Amino acid sequence: MNHTLSKQTDVYEGAKKVSLLPVHIKEKQDVLSSFSSSKEYYISEEMATFLMNQAKPLPLKNALHVKIKTEKVLPDDDKQAIAKAIKNYFHNGVLDVSMQIKKSAWVASIMLMVSIIVLSVSFLLSYTNVAYVLIELLEIVGWVFAWECVDIFCFRITMMRFQRKRSLHFLEAKISFDIIKDTRRENK
């Protein structure tokens, strides 16, 4: 598969600053997943990884314009299929990350409750004649659950939200097509 990236630039479309992400492809099959149906198109994992990697240095505050350049004119159906495939892929990405965030929030909430219960039992047992080692063990378990809850809420979910923002950036991106100009002919 042949994807290349030319220089990324920021341009202005009206008053809005736009990050331009040019992508060079040879044909529609370079972009689409071989598992796409005739009704639902998706980009290949290789193309998705390429787009995500090239978009990493681009600021999220700017609108995104994916400019796909080809060596020959693509039919309008192919252009629509490619644009739809990009949108479908990143729409599914947004849905997937949103579900992961919800699941992680539930897990973190349960861990917080377990932590509170275990630390409460540890505190109550400290006023009885239970072995000191058992109380210390319960405190360690309680604090481990508490830390895991903090880790999920403060770090993992934050990273997932950033992933969702990046996918939304592509979902809202403008996608256009252009022909690669042959500079060899122009220089002769």
Structure tokens at 46: 């290789």
User: Which residues, 6+ apart, have CB-to-CB distance to 9 below 8 Å?
Assistant: 19, 20
pLDDT tens readout for residues 27-49: 888 888 888 777 788 888 999 99
Specify the DSSP element, H or E, that contains 96: helix 76-125
- Residue 3, classed as helix, strand or coil, is coil
pLDDT tens readout for residues 36-89: 777 788 888 999 999 999 988 888 888 999 999 988 888 888 889 899 999 999
Distance CA 1, CA 182 (A): 21
Distance CA 169, CA 188 (A): 41
52, burial (CB in 10 Å: exposed 0-12, middle 13-18, buried 19+)? middle
pLDDT tens readout for residues 88-147: 999 999 999 999 999 999 999 999 999 999 999 999 998 898 888 999 999 999 999 999
